[in-house]
Amino acid sequence: MNEIPLHVIHLNQDDPRKCTSRKLSKRGGCTLHTNLRKSPKRGLLLDPLSGILVGPDDKQSIERGSSIVSLDCSWKEVEPSLKLLYNSTNLEGRTLPVVLAANPVSWGKPGRLSNVEAFAVCLTIFDRWDQARKILSPFNFGDEFFSLNQLPLEAYSQAKSNRELAEIQWEFFDKPAGD
């Protein structure tokens, strides 16, 4: 099984010492783009605001060679940064199912993932566990990420549709009020 191409559009908005994207890129785990014009124009964009889950319904796109693209920006700048990206690409926005962060900045917080953790979630959903372990291996929180999220990640990887995946996440986490 081929590895899924991983790309990061890096906007230099946060602390470079805590940047998992830079470290992942240096280790060959992703391609880092600082110039929007040279970034992928098609693929799946990890967008916490899209409301459309990444999941089994995207497998065909991935099998045809689509990339997974993340945006490395400050959480405070996510909305304008995403708007800029959508205006200049044909990337399809996707939200991740709920998992817990293991990175030191947001440990234990649902959905407050570093880029490398977000990529790992996608990779496990698409049954690329070896690639997910490989990209997390240089990080001291990598093993803990898998320990914290073992059961949901295993269940997510076995979902047959995005609808099923959406329901599975609430077996492990509290459903937000109003949903």
41/92 Cα distance (integer angstroms) = 10
Please give the share of the chain, as a percent, with pLDDT higher than 70: 95
18/165 Cα distance (integer angstroms) = 31
User: Residues of 72-87 as b/e, b for ≥16 C-beta within 10 angstroms?
Assistant: bbeeeeeeebbebbee
In the chain, domain spans? 6-172
Q: For residue range 97-106, what is the model confidence (pLDDT) as tens digits? A: 999 999 998 8
pTM exceeding the 0.75 threshold for the entire prediction: yes
Which of these, 48, 46, 35, lies nearest to 4 by C-alpha position?
A: 46
Residue with tokens 């490989």: 134
17/21 Cα distance (integer angstroms) = 11
Check whether 1 has a pLDDT greater than 80. no
What the block records as the tokens of 62 is 């991935």
